[in-house]
Amino acid sequence: MSHLSDEKLVEKVRGGDIDAYRHLVKRYEKLVFGVAFHSLGNAEDARDVAQDVFIRAFLRLEQVRDFSRTGSWLRQITVNECRAWAGRRRIFEELREDGRDPLVLAHPEGQGLEAPPEEPRAVRIENRSGIEPLLPEPLGEVPAVEQERPAHHVGVA
C-alpha cells in the first residue's frame, strides 16, 4: 500500500481504512518530527507534537483538496502545533516562576484535581509497561537525531 499516492491513501482513509492512514503517517513522520524538532529543539517535545499533529490531521482529513501539497499541509499543522506548544509551555513556566500553580488557576475550586506526582519520567514509563498491550499501536518510532543537523534527517540539507 506504500506505493499508493497520497490521494489514493486519503480516499482509503475516508472510506474507513485505518491501515492506509498508518502508511501516510509513515510517509510523513520524518518530515513532521524534523519540523517540530527544529522549532522546539527538544526530541521528547517534538515526538509529542508529532503525535498531536497526526491526530489533528486525521480529524481534518476532509480539508485536503490538493494532494500534491499534503506535505505542506502537514508542515503547516506542525508549525501551528509547535507555536501552541511553546506558548503553553511559556505560560506554564511563568506561572511556576511566580509561585502560582497552573492547576489551581485553571480550576480555582480544585474540584477533584490533584497535582501529578513529582516522579522521574522513567518511573512513570516503567509503571505503564503492564498496560502497553491495551494501548493503541504507536504511530511509529522516529529516528534519533543530532541536534546540530535536524534538517539532514528530513532531507532538506
Tell me the H-state helices in the chain.
6-14, 18-40, 43-59, 70-97, 102-106, 121-128, 150-153
Q: Which sequence spans correspond to the domains of the chain?
A: 6-153
Summarised one tens digit per residue, pLDDT across range 62-72 is: 888 888 889 99
Of the candidate CATH numbers 3.30.70.20, 1.10.1740.10, 1.10.10.10, 1.10.3720.10, the domain formed by 6-153 belongs to: 1.10.1740.10
Among 8-17, 89-98, 135-144, name the one with the lowest average pLDDT: 135-144
Give the Cα separation of 142 and 42 in Å (integer): 13
Summarised one tens digit per residue, pLDDT across range 112-154 is: 445 444 544 443 344 444 434 433 444 455 555 544 445 554 5
